[in-house]
């Protein structure tokens, strides 16, 4: 009973159980009836405390994870220029821009062009005006003479060629300098902007 007086209820209950198994008498039984409920309450409080401590730890880690995700989204957004056409000069640069578009769940349009191409010269100002009209779409422009590795990777056989990429996957393509087809596909794949 001295352990119970010190507040060591679990040890007191264990000692009394052992004592009652060895030599049962009324006094040990009465003490055990007093000590066991307190030991159970202490165990319940301990479980509740552990559960609350875990929940508090999870709540602390959630804002950190959320801040990291927001920082990554901001970094991805800073790589994209809303309402502008972004010129691509290498495969690495293209992957960076497509990755940023994917992280922000934006439609990306790859426009393959060449300086010597007449239809490309016709569609380029239209492509720029579409970038201004749809600022939440990522407009990328690749000169096949400058970035031959990118043109080879995308199997470009004629220009102007347009590829529509959403969430890292090619969802559509178009060849030729047709403004209405281009705008229709932007609306189709970008949804309401």
CATH of the domain at 150: 3.40.30.10
What tokens does 28 get? Answer: 């040990």
pLDDT at 177: 92
Q: Which residue has the higher pLDDT, 100 or 24?
A: 100
CB 107 within 8 A of CB 137: yes
Q: pTM for the full model?
A: 0.61
User: What is the pLDDT of the chain when averaged over all its residues?
Assistant: 82
Decide which of 74, 90, 122 is a domain's last residue: 74
- Domain final position from 42, 74, 106: 74
For residues 183, 188, 192, 193, the Cα torsion angle rounded to the nearest 10 degrees is -40
pLDDT at 130: 94
Residue holding tokens 């165990």? 43
Residues 146 and 175 in one domain: yes
Do residues 79 and 103 touch, judged by C-beta distance below 8 A? no
Whether residues 121 and 30 share a domain: the answer is no
Answer yes or no: do 111 and 177 share one domain: yes
Cis peptide before 87 (omega within 30 of 0): no
What are the residue numbers of the active site?
Answer: 117, 120
CATH number for the domain harbouring residue 16: 1.25.40.10
**pLDDT tens digit string along 69-126?**
666 666 656 667 788 899 999 998 899 889 888 888 889 999 999 999 999 999 999 9
pLDDT band at 59 (very low <50, low <70, confident <90, very high): confident
Largest CA distance in the chain: 107
d(CA 175, CA 185): 12
97 and 49 in a common domain: no
Secondary structure in 3-state letters for 47-92: HHHHHHHHHHHHHHHHHHHHHHHHHHHHHHHHHCCCCCEEEECCHH
Answer whether residue 6 shows pLDDT above 60: no
Both 147 and 170 in one domain: the answer is yes
pLDDT band at 5 (very low <50, low <70, confident <90, very high): very low
Q: Contact at 8 Å (CB) between 150 and 88? A: yes
Per-residue model confidence (pLDDT) at position 153: 93
**Do 117 and 88 fall within a single domain?**
yes
Of all residues in the chain, the percent with pLDDT exceeding 70 is 77
141 Cβ contact list (under 8 Å, min separation 6): 85, 86, 87, 88, 111, 113, 124, 127
Do 177 and 106 lie in one domain? The reply is yes
How many domains does the chain fold into?
A: 2
For residues 27 and 115, membership in a common domain is answered with no
Does residue 67 sit in the same domain as residue 94? no
pLDDT of residue 50: 86
Residues 143 and 118 in one domain: yes
How far apart CA 37 and CA 59 sit, in angstroms, is 33
Domain termination site, one of 17, 39, 74? 74
157: which DSSP letter? Answer: -
Kindly state whether residues 84 and 131 are assigned to the same domain. Answer: yes
Please report the pLDDT score of residue 32 as a whole number. 67
The set of residues, in sequence order, having a beta carbon less than 8 Å from that of 84 and lying 6+ positions away, is: 131, 132, 139
Model pLDDT, residue 34: 72
Residue 69's domain comprises 2-74
């Amino acid at each position: 009973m001295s352990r119970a007086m010190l507040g060591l209820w679990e040890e007191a209950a264990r000692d009394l159980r052992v004592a009652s198994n060895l030599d049962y008498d009324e006094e040990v039984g009465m003490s055990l009836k007093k000590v066991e409920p307190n030991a159970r309450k202490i165990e319940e409080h301990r479980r509740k405390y552990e559960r609350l401590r875990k929940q508090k730890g999870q709540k602390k880690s959630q804002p950190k994870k959320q801040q990291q995700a927001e920082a990554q989204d901001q970094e991805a957004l800073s790589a994209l220029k809303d309402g502008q056409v972004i010129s691509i000069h290498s495969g690495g640069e293209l992957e960076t821009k497509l990755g940023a578009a994917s992280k922000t769940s934006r439609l990306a349009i790859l426009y393959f062009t060449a300086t010597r191409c007449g239809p490309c010269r016709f569609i380029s100002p239209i492509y720029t005006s579409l970038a201004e009209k749809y600022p939440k779409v990522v407009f990328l422009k690749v000169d096949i003479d400058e970035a031959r590795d990118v043109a080879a990777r995308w199997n470009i056989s004629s220009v102007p060629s347009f590829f529509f990429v959403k969430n890292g996957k090619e969802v559509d393509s178009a060849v030729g300098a047709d403004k209405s087809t281009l705008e229709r596909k932007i609306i189709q794949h970008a949804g309401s902007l």
